[in-house]
Protein backbone atom coordinates (compact mmCIF):
# COMPACT_ATOMS: atom_id res chain seq x y z
CA UNK A 1 0.00 0.00 0.00
CA UNK A 2 1.30 3.43 -0.94
CA UNK A 3 2.16 5.78 1.89
CA UNK A 4 0.08 8.92 2.10
CA UNK A 5 1.73 12.33 2.25
CA UNK A 6 -0.27 15.45 3.11
CA UNK A 7 0.66 18.68 1.38
CA UNK A 8 -0.66 21.16 3.91
CA UNK A 9 -2.25 24.23 2.40
CA UNK A 10 -4.71 26.99 3.31
CA UNK A 11 -8.42 27.31 2.60
CA UNK A 12 -7.64 29.86 -0.12
CA UNK A 13 -5.59 27.24 -1.98
CA UNK A 14 -7.40 23.94 -1.23
CA UNK A 15 -5.85 22.30 -4.30
CA UNK A 16 -2.40 23.83 -3.67
CA UNK A 17 -0.92 27.04 -5.00
CA UNK A 18 -0.10 26.89 -8.74
CA UNK A 19 3.64 26.66 -8.16
CA UNK A 20 3.13 23.41 -6.23
CA UNK A 21 0.84 21.82 -8.81
CA UNK A 22 3.51 19.36 -9.98
CA UNK A 23 4.22 17.95 -6.54
CA UNK A 24 1.35 15.43 -6.51
CA UNK A 25 2.59 13.84 -9.72
CA UNK A 26 6.25 13.98 -8.76
CA UNK A 27 5.58 12.32 -5.40
CA UNK A 28 3.38 9.78 -7.16
CA UNK A 29 6.37 8.81 -9.29
CA UNK A 30 7.96 7.61 -6.05
CA UNK A 31 4.82 5.63 -5.19
CA UNK A 32 3.72 8.17 -2.60
CA UNK A 33 0.07 9.19 -2.51
CA UNK A 34 0.21 12.95 -2.10
CA UNK A 35 -2.98 14.77 -1.13
CA UNK A 36 -3.60 18.49 -0.58
CA UNK A 37 -4.99 19.06 2.92
CA UNK A 38 -6.18 22.32 4.48
CA UNK A 39 -4.25 22.69 7.73
CA UNK A 40 -7.14 24.37 9.58
CA UNK A 41 -9.61 21.57 8.80
CA UNK A 42 -10.39 20.30 12.30
CA UNK A 43 -12.38 17.32 11.00
CA UNK A 44 -9.44 15.84 9.10
CA UNK A 45 -7.75 12.76 10.52
CA UNK A 46 -4.08 13.62 10.14
CA UNK A 47 -2.97 10.23 11.48
CA UNK A 48 -3.77 8.74 8.07
CA UNK A 49 -0.61 10.37 6.69
CA UNK A 50 2.92 9.07 6.95
CA UNK A 51 4.05 12.70 6.95
CA UNK A 52 2.72 16.21 6.56
CA UNK A 53 4.62 18.76 4.50
CA UNK A 54 3.80 22.43 5.02
CA UNK A 55 3.29 24.19 1.72
CA UNK A 56 0.88 27.07 0.98
CA UNK A 57 -0.35 27.68 4.54
CA UNK A 58 -0.26 31.36 3.77
CA UNK A 59 -2.74 32.41 6.42
CA UNK A 60 -0.84 31.08 9.44
CA UNK A 61 0.45 34.51 10.48
CA UNK A 62 -3.10 35.79 11.01
CA UNK A 63 -4.02 32.85 13.25
CA UNK A 64 -0.67 31.96 14.72
CA UNK A 65 -1.87 30.39 17.99
CA UNK A 66 -4.16 28.07 16.03
CA UNK A 67 -1.25 27.18 13.76
CA UNK A 68 1.04 26.48 16.70
CA UNK A 69 -1.64 24.25 18.26
CA UNK A 70 -2.01 22.34 14.98
CA UNK A 71 1.73 21.66 14.85
CA UNK A 72 1.65 20.49 18.46
CA UNK A 73 -1.30 18.17 17.82
CA UNK A 74 0.56 16.53 14.95
CA UNK A 75 3.64 16.17 17.13
CA UNK A 76 1.65 14.71 20.02
CA UNK A 77 -0.04 12.25 17.67
CA UNK A 78 3.31 11.09 16.31
CA UNK A 79 2.64 12.49 12.83
CA UNK A 80 5.88 13.52 11.12
CA UNK A 81 5.91 17.17 10.07
CA UNK A 82 8.29 18.93 7.69
CA UNK A 83 9.90 21.08 8.43
CA UNK A 84 9.91 19.66 11.99
CA UNK A 85 7.97 21.46 14.75
CA UNK A 86 11.13 22.71 16.49
CA UNK A 87 12.28 24.43 13.29
CA UNK A 88 8.80 25.87 12.69
CA UNK A 89 8.62 27.28 16.23
CA UNK A 90 12.06 28.86 15.88
CA UNK A 91 11.28 30.42 12.51
CA UNK A 92 7.87 31.81 13.50
CA UNK A 93 9.29 34.76 15.41
CA UNK A 94 11.66 37.05 13.55
CA UNK A 95 13.85 37.33 16.63
CA UNK A 96 15.74 34.43 15.08
CA UNK A 97 17.50 37.13 13.07
CA UNK A 98 19.30 38.27 16.21
CA UNK A 99 20.54 34.72 16.85
CA UNK A 100 21.95 34.51 13.35
CA UNK A 101 23.48 37.98 13.64
CA UNK A 102 25.25 36.85 16.82
CA UNK A 103 26.85 34.11 14.70
CA UNK A 104 28.20 36.63 12.22
CA UNK A 105 25.37 36.86 9.69
CA UNK A 106 24.84 40.33 8.24
CA UNK A 107 21.27 41.58 8.78
CA UNK A 108 19.73 45.06 8.49
CA UNK A 109 20.00 47.20 11.61
CA UNK A 110 17.09 45.86 13.64
CA UNK A 111 15.09 46.69 16.75
CA UNK A 112 12.22 44.85 18.42
CA UNK A 113 9.82 47.19 20.22
CA UNK A 114 6.30 47.41 21.60
CA UNK A 115 5.99 51.20 21.57
CA UNK A 116 7.21 53.99 19.32
CA UNK A 117 9.02 55.61 22.24
CA UNK A 118 11.40 52.62 22.29
CA UNK A 119 12.38 52.91 18.62
CA UNK A 120 15.71 54.63 17.99
CA UNK A 121 16.63 53.84 14.37
CA UNK A 122 17.09 56.90 12.18
CA UNK A 123 16.55 57.16 8.44
CA UNK A 124 14.18 55.11 6.33
CA UNK A 125 12.74 52.16 8.22
CA UNK A 126 10.57 49.12 7.59
CA UNK A 127 7.95 48.36 10.22
CA UNK A 128 6.04 45.07 10.53
CA UNK A 129 4.80 42.59 13.13
CA UNK A 130 7.36 40.21 14.54
CA UNK A 131 5.23 37.36 13.17
CA UNK A 132 4.39 38.20 9.59
CA UNK A 133 4.35 36.76 6.08
CA UNK A 134 3.59 37.84 2.52
CA UNK A 135 4.35 41.49 3.38
CA UNK A 136 1.42 41.53 5.82
CA UNK A 137 1.34 44.90 7.62
CA UNK A 138 4.76 45.77 6.19
CA UNK A 139 5.27 49.53 5.90
CA UNK A 140 8.05 51.89 4.79
CA UNK A 141 8.60 55.23 6.50
CA UNK A 142 11.14 57.97 5.89
CA UNK A 143 12.00 57.99 9.59
CA UNK A 144 11.03 56.06 12.74
CA UNK A 145 9.42 59.24 14.09
CA UNK A 146 6.99 59.11 11.17
CA UNK A 147 6.36 55.45 11.93
CA UNK A 148 5.22 56.15 15.49
CA UNK A 149 1.51 55.69 14.90
CA UNK A 150 2.02 52.41 13.02
CA UNK A 151 4.41 51.08 15.67
CA UNK A 152 2.00 51.85 18.47
CA UNK A 153 -0.94 50.36 16.56
CA UNK A 154 0.89 47.14 15.74
CA UNK A 155 2.54 47.06 19.16
CA UNK A 156 -0.85 46.88 20.83
CA UNK A 157 -1.18 43.36 19.41
CA UNK A 158 2.40 42.17 19.86
CA UNK A 159 6.05 42.91 19.32
CA UNK A 160 7.08 44.95 16.29
CA UNK A 161 10.24 44.69 14.22
CA UNK A 162 11.79 47.95 13.02
CA UNK A 163 14.58 47.63 10.43
CA UNK A 164 16.67 49.96 8.35
CA UNK A 165 15.49 50.10 4.76
CA UNK A 166 17.92 48.34 2.43
CA UNK A 167 17.86 50.59 -0.64
CA UNK A 168 19.62 48.03 -2.88
CA UNK A 169 16.38 46.03 -3.08
CA UNK A 170 14.89 48.69 -5.37
CA UNK A 171 17.43 48.32 -8.19
CA UNK A 172 19.20 45.06 -7.45
CA UNK A 173 16.22 43.19 -6.08
CA UNK A 174 16.14 40.46 -3.48
CA UNK A 175 17.62 37.02 -4.08
CA UNK A 176 15.86 33.84 -2.98
CA UNK A 177 18.12 30.80 -2.85
CA UNK A 178 16.32 27.48 -2.48
CA UNK A 179 17.84 24.54 -0.60
CA UNK A 180 16.40 21.03 -0.72
CA UNK A 181 17.77 18.58 1.81
CA UNK A 182 20.40 21.24 2.65
CA UNK A 183 21.72 21.20 -0.93
CA UNK A 184 21.45 24.30 -3.10
CA UNK A 185 18.83 23.72 -5.79
CA UNK A 186 18.03 26.96 -7.62
CA UNK A 187 17.57 30.69 -7.21
CA UNK A 188 15.42 33.56 -8.38
CA UNK A 189 15.90 37.31 -8.28
CA UNK A 190 12.81 39.25 -7.21
CA UNK A 191 12.15 42.89 -8.04
CA UNK A 192 9.45 45.25 -6.77
CA UNK A 193 7.14 47.05 -9.16
CA UNK A 194 7.95 50.69 -9.94
CA UNK A 195 7.22 52.89 -6.97
CA UNK A 196 7.09 50.04 -4.45
CA UNK A 197 9.61 48.29 -2.22
CA UNK A 198 7.85 44.94 -1.76
CA UNK A 199 8.93 42.10 -4.03
CA UNK A 200 5.97 39.75 -3.54
CA UNK A 201 4.30 38.88 -6.84
CA UNK A 202 0.81 39.34 -5.40
CA UNK A 203 1.81 42.98 -4.77
CA UNK A 204 3.08 43.55 -8.29
CA UNK A 205 6.62 42.27 -7.87
CA UNK A 206 8.29 39.97 -10.36
CA UNK A 207 10.78 37.14 -10.26
CA UNK A 208 13.16 35.58 -12.74
CA UNK A 209 15.37 32.52 -12.54
CA UNK A 210 18.97 33.62 -12.07
CA UNK A 211 22.38 32.40 -10.98
CA UNK A 212 23.66 33.95 -7.75
CA UNK A 213 27.23 35.08 -7.37
CA UNK A 214 29.66 32.68 -5.75
CA UNK A 215 29.88 35.00 -2.75
CA UNK A 216 26.12 35.11 -2.29
CA UNK A 217 25.83 31.34 -2.59
CA UNK A 218 28.58 30.77 -0.02
CA UNK A 219 26.81 33.04 2.44
CA UNK A 220 23.49 31.29 1.93
CA UNK A 221 25.16 27.90 2.39
CA UNK A 222 26.80 29.14 5.60
CA UNK A 223 23.47 30.32 6.97
CA UNK A 224 21.81 26.99 6.22
CA UNK A 225 24.49 25.15 8.21
CA UNK A 226 23.42 27.16 11.28
CA UNK A 227 19.95 25.60 11.29
CA UNK A 228 19.68 22.54 13.49
CA UNK A 229 17.37 19.64 12.75
CA UNK A 230 16.15 17.58 9.80
CA UNK A 231 15.81 20.39 7.29
CA UNK A 232 13.80 19.29 4.25
CA UNK A 233 13.64 22.71 2.59
CA UNK A 234 14.85 26.25 3.15
CA UNK A 235 14.71 29.54 1.30
CA UNK A 236 17.36 32.11 2.06
CA UNK A 237 16.42 35.67 1.10
CA UNK A 238 19.41 37.96 0.65
CA UNK A 239 20.15 41.37 -0.81
CA UNK A 240 23.52 41.76 -2.49
CA UNK A 241 25.40 44.81 -1.22
CA UNK A 242 28.97 46.08 -1.66
CA UNK A 243 30.05 44.34 1.53
CA UNK A 244 28.38 41.05 0.68
CA UNK A 245 24.97 39.53 1.22
CA UNK A 246 22.55 40.92 3.80
CA UNK A 247 20.04 38.41 5.13
CA UNK A 248 16.47 39.62 4.95
CA UNK A 249 14.86 36.39 6.11
CA UNK A 250 15.37 32.65 6.11
CA UNK A 251 12.05 31.02 5.27
CA UNK A 252 11.60 27.57 6.83
CA UNK A 253 7.84 27.25 7.29
CA UNK A 254 5.77 27.75 4.12
CA UNK A 255 7.95 29.53 1.59
CA UNK A 256 7.27 29.75 -2.09
CA UNK A 257 10.00 27.52 -3.51
CA UNK A 258 9.64 28.68 -7.13
CA UNK A 259 9.50 25.17 -8.57
CA UNK A 260 8.17 26.53 -11.87
CA UNK A 261 11.35 28.57 -12.29
CA UNK A 262 13.66 25.56 -12.19
CA UNK A 263 12.86 22.43 -14.22
CA UNK A 264 13.65 19.36 -12.17
CA UNK A 265 13.40 21.09 -8.80
CA UNK A 266 9.99 19.57 -7.95
CA UNK A 267 11.46 16.14 -8.70
CA UNK A 268 14.41 16.86 -6.40
CA UNK A 269 11.99 17.91 -3.69
CA UNK A 270 9.98 14.71 -4.16
CA UNK A 271 13.14 12.63 -3.99
CA UNK A 272 14.06 14.23 -0.67
CA UNK A 273 10.56 13.51 0.64
CA UNK A 274 10.77 9.92 -0.55
CA UNK A 275 14.03 9.32 1.29
CA UNK A 276 12.30 10.34 4.51
CA UNK A 277 9.16 8.36 3.75
CA UNK A 278 11.17 5.16 3.52
CA UNK A 279 12.26 5.55 7.14
CA UNK A 280 9.03 6.99 8.53
CA UNK A 281 6.63 4.68 10.35
CA UNK A 282 2.92 5.31 10.08
CA UNK A 283 0.19 5.25 7.45
- pLDDT, one tens digit per residue, over 32-84 is 999 999 999 999 999 999 999 999 999 988 889 999 999 999 999 999 999 99
* pLDDT, position 200: 63
Contacts of 221 (CB under 8 A, 6+ apart): 184
pLDDT at 118: 83
Architecture, CATH, for domain 3-83+262-277: 3-Layer(aba) Sandwich (3.40)
Measured CA distances, 225 to 35, 106, 142, 179 (Å) = 31, 15, 36, 11
CB 91, CB 64: distance < 8 Å: no
Spell out the residues 6+ positions from residue 194 whose beta carbon is closer than 8 angstroms to its own.
none
CATH of 167-252, one of 3.40.1280.10, 1.10.940.10, 3.30.470.20, 1.25.50.10: 3.30.470.20
Residue ranges for the chain with pLDDT beneath 50: none
Are the folds of 3-83+262-277 and 167-252 the same?
no
According to the model, what pLDDT value does residue 195 have? 52
pTM: 0.92
Amino acid sequence: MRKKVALATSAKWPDLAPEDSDLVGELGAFSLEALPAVWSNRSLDWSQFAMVIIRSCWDYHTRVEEFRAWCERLDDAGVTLYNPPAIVRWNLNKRYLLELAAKGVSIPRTEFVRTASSATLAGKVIVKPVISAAAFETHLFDDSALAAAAIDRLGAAGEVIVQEFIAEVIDGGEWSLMFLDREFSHAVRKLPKTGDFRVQEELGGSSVAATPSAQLLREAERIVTMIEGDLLYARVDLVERPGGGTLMEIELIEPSLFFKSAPGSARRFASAVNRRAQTTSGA
